[in-house]
C-alpha cells in the first residue's frame, strides 16, 4: 500500500509500523503454511487494501482535525488514535484470511 509521503513523517512511521506488525507480518506467517496452489481472490484483496486505506484515513483524522483534546499534529493525538488503528488492522488481518481459496 502506497502512503502519502506529504503527511507528517512521525505519523507515517506509525502507519508503516502498524501495517508491518499488525497486518503484513500475521498474514505472511499464515501464508507460509498454505498448501501450494492456494489461490487468492483479487477482489477480496482489493477490498482489504481499501479497508486498510479507510483505517489509515480515520487514524489521520484522529491525528489532525478530529483531535479535540490536544493540538492537531501533537504526539498526544497520535497516541490517542494509535490503539484503535492497530486494533482495526488486526481485525482486517483476520478478515483477509477469507481471501485465500484452498
Q: How far apart are CA 1 and CA 8, in angstroms?
A: 17
Q: Give 64: exposed, middle or buried? Use CB within 10 Å, 0-12, 13-18, 19+.
A: middle
Q: Where are the domains of the chain?
A: 9-17+37-101
Measured in whole angstroms, the distance separating CA 60 from the mean position of its chain's CA atoms is 12
Q: Per-residue pLDDT tens for 67-87? A: 988 898 999 999 999 999 999
pTM to 2 decimals? 0.88
By the 8 A CB rule, do 73 and 14 touch? no
Measured in whole angstroms, the distance separating CA 17 from the mean position of its chain's CA atoms is 9
pLDDT at 83 (0 to 100): 97
pLDDT at 101 (0 to 100): 67
Q: What is the grid cell recorded at 44? A: 477480496
Which residues of the chain, if any, have pLDDT below 50? none
Amino acid at each position: 500500500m502506497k502512503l502519502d509521503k506529504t503527511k507528517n513523517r512521525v505519523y507515517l512511521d506509525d502507519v508503516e509500523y502498524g501495517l508491518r506488525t499488525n497486518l503484513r507480518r500475521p498474514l505472511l506467517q499464515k501464508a507460509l503454511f498454505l498448501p501450494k496452489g492456494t489461490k487468492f481472490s483479487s477482489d477480496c484483496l482489493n477490498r482489504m487494501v481499501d479497508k486498510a486505506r479507510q483505517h489509515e484515513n480515520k487514524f489521520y483524522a484522529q491525528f489532525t482535525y478530529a483531535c479535540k483534546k490536544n493540538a492537531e499534529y501533537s504526539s498526544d493525538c497520535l497516541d490517542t488514535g494509535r490503539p484503535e488503528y492497530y486494533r482495526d488492522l488486526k481485525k482486517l488481518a483476520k478478515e483477509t484470511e477469507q481471501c485465500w481459496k484452498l
